[in-house]
Amino acid sequence: MRAFYGGILGLVEKPVPASLADQELIWFEAGPVELELHFLPDPVPPDSAAERHFCLEVDDLEGWRRRLEAAGVETSDQTPIPNRPRFFCLDPFGNLIELTTILGDYRT
Tens of pLDDT, residues 12-55: 999 988 898 888 889 999 877 778 888 887 777 666 556 678 89
Q: In terms of domains, do 62 and 95 share one?
A: yes
Helices (H), 1-108: 61-70
Which pLDDT belongs to residue 63?
A: 97
Number of domains in the chain: 2
Q: In terms of domains, do 37 and 8 share one?
A: yes
Q: What is the pTM of this model?
A: 0.81
Q: In terms of domains, do 36 and 59 share one?
A: no
Highest mean pLDDT among 14-28, 59-73, 94-108: 59-73
Residue numbers of the domain that contains 80? 52-108
Strands (E) located in 2-80: 13-14, 26-29, 36-39, 54-57, 75-76
Which pLDDT belongs to residue 48?
A: 54
DSSP-based three-state secondary structure for 22: helix
Q: In terms of domains, do 28 and 9 share one?
A: yes
Burial 20-49 (b: 16+ CB within 10 A, else e): eeeeeebbbebeeeeeebebeeeeeeeeee
Q: In terms of domains, do 56 and 80 share one?
A: yes
